[in-house]
């Protein structure tokens, strides 16, 4: 009940935010990135001299802080600050809106554990995590090119990784592939949810990692290239293969020989690249989920950099048998692991080119669960959930 109450507070915060600004908080907001010549790389800043930029990588939770009684945190974020986590004297100020959200040492807001964002049933705490979150934005039923966005992290309209795609391709791919209530780096409104707020998931619960090889929280990499056309070996074409490497004797955990590698053998080498470890980070590993696989399914990513690339990362929790979700109208519901979720081996909705695309304008292949996650696919919800 405490977890459900936290979620209700977040739902109320979203509605109050929308009333104030006529849009949802943006998943992927903040300040533009800056060049190395300006002294702070792409935004890390310095624990003594401050500075830094967040490269438009802030989660929607950051903008909500003043709406769920965290005004003090918001004031520290939105203004230059001379506080750091060590208490040592700073010679300069952190930039307004803070450095990159993965800065592990120094910036107080990103390291702060906010009670409203934590489920009391989740025991995860402490390093290497920063401030954890158990509540995440719904990103729809397709994880293709999550980071292929317009605008990019530097604010340009050519799109993130525009060298790998033309502006027209960026527009087409993101319009088709980003089907949730929250669309990366875009200002969404309630009116964009054509399926109806009471029929569309706005946010969901996620379990945070405990360092125990849990298939839901300690993500593993499926082969494939993040910006290539989908093929049979990646999680675009078959998200259900995520759980294939689970230990057959302990199916909720990865087998002892399964490393955190990608197709090229590169390790996921950041110790804090785990589920729910950074409440302020827009990466789907930390503050997002997809309605592809049913709740508490195995979660995977497509690249070794799990913080920003997509993958079939579902809702999850430490509750028995399911997880809470927050509907667009603010209602909190408990969804069981056995919700009708269609065909887990079906390819996700995507557009790559005129000859290589899938489910353009079609209903979700992931049953009731996928239909609840897509905001405008015109599915009819005729089942109880």
Return d(Cα 295, Cα 206) in angstroms, integer: 9
Task: With respect to residue 340, please indicate whether it lies within any of the assigned structural domains.
Answer: yes
H or E element: which one contains 279? Answer: none
pTM reported for the whole predicted model: 0.90
Task: With respect to residue 91, please indicate whether it lies within any of the assigned structural domains.
Answer: no
- Mean pLDDT across 255-262: 68
Assign 304 a pLDDT band (cuts: 50, 70, 90): very low
Asked if pLDDT for residue 263 goes beyond 60, the answer is no
41: its two tokens: 């790389």
Return d(Cα 331, Cα 69) in angstroms, integer: 20
Return d(Cα 299, Cα 275) in angstroms, integer: 9
In the chain, % of residues over pLDDT 90: 45
Number of structural domains (the chain) is: 1
- 281: β partners: 58
Residue entry with tokens 């992931």:
366
Assign 208 a pLDDT band (cuts: 50, 70, 90): very high
DSSP letter string, 25-58: PPTTBSPPP--GGGTSTTTT-BTTTBB---TT-B
Assign 97 a pLDDT band (cuts: 50, 70, 90): very high
Task: With respect to residue 102, please indicate whether it lies within any of the assigned structural domains.
Answer: no
106: its two tokens: 């120094």
Task: With respect to residue 10, please indicate whether it lies within any of the assigned structural domains.
Answer: no
Task: With respect to residue 23, please indicate whether it lies within any of the assigned structural domains.
Answer: no
- Mean pLDDT across 192-220: 92
Assign 171 a pLDDT band (cuts: 50, 70, 90): confident
Give pLDDT, residue 281.
92
CA geometry: angle 29, 266, 352, nearest 5 deg: 55
Assign 306 a pLDDT band (cuts: 50, 70, 90): very low
Using only the alpha carbons of the chain, give its radius of gyration. Answer: 19
In the chain, % of residues over pLDDT 70: 84
Give pLDDT, residue 151.
67
Full domain range(s) for residue 216: 114-384
Return d(Cα 203, Cα 201) in angstroms, integer: 6
Task: With respect to residue 178, please indicate whether it lies within any of the assigned structural domains.
Answer: yes
Assign 41 a pLDDT band (cuts: 50, 70, 90): very low
- Mean pLDDT across 317-331: 95
Give pLDDT, residue 361.
82
pLDDT digits (tens, 9 = 90+) for 210-251: 988 899 998 887 755 555 667 767 778 888 888 888 888 898
Task: With respect to residue 53, please indicate whether it lies within any of the assigned structural domains.
Answer: no
- Mean pLDDT across 205-210: 94
Task: With respect to residue 14, please indicate whether it lies within any of the assigned structural domains.
Answer: no
H or E element: which one contains 323? Answer: strand 322-327
């Amino acid at each position: 009940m405490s977890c459900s109450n936290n979620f209700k507070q977040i739902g109320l915060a979203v509605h109050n935010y929308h009333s104030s600004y006529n849009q949802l908080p943006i998943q992927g907001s903040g300040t533009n990135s800056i060049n190395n010549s300006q002294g702070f790389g792409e935004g890390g800043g310095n624990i003594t001299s401050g500075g830094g930029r967040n490269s438009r990588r802030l989660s929607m939770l950051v903008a909500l802080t003043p709406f769920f009684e965290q005004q003090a945190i918001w004031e520290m974020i939105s203004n230059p600050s001379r506080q750091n986590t060590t208490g040592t004297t700073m010679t300069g100020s952190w930039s307004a809106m803070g450095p990159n959200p993965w800065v592990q040492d120094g910036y107080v807001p990103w390291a702060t554990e906010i009670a409203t964002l934590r489920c009391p049933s989740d025991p995860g705490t402490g390093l290497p995590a920063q401030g954890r979150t158990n509540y995440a934005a719904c990103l729809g039923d397709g994880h293709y090119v999550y980071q292929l966005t317009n605008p990019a992290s530097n604010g340009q309209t050519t799109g993130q990784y525009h060298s790998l795609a033309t502006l027209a391709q960026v527009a087409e791919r993101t319009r088709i592939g980003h089907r949730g209530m929250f669309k990366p780096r875009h200002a969404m409104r309630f009116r964009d949810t054509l399926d109806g707020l009471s029929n569309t998931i706005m946010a969901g619960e996620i379990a945070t990692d405990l360092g125990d090889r849990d298939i839901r929280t300690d993500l593993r990499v499926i082969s494939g290239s993040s910006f290539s056309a989908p093929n049979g070996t990646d999680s675009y074409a078959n998200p259900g293969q995520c759980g294939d490497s689970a230990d057959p004797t302990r199916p909720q955990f990865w087998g002892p020989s399964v490393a955190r590698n990608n197709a090229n053998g590169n390790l996921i080498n950041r110790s804090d690249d785990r589920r729910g470890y950074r409440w302020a980070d827009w990466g789907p590993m930390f503050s997002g989920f997809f309605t592809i696989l049913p709740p508490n399914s195995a979660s995977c990513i497509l690249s070794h950099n799990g913080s920003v690339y997509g993958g079939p990362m579902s809702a999850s929790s430490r509750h028995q048998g399911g997880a809470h979700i927050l509907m667009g109208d603010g209602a909190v519901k408990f969804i069981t692991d056995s919700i009708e979720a269609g065909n887990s081996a079906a390819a996700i909705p995507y557009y790559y080119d005129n000859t290589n695309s899938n489910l353009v304008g079609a209903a979700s292949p992931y049953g009731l669960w996928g239909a609840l996650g897509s905001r405008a696919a015109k599915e009819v919800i005729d089942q109880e959930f």
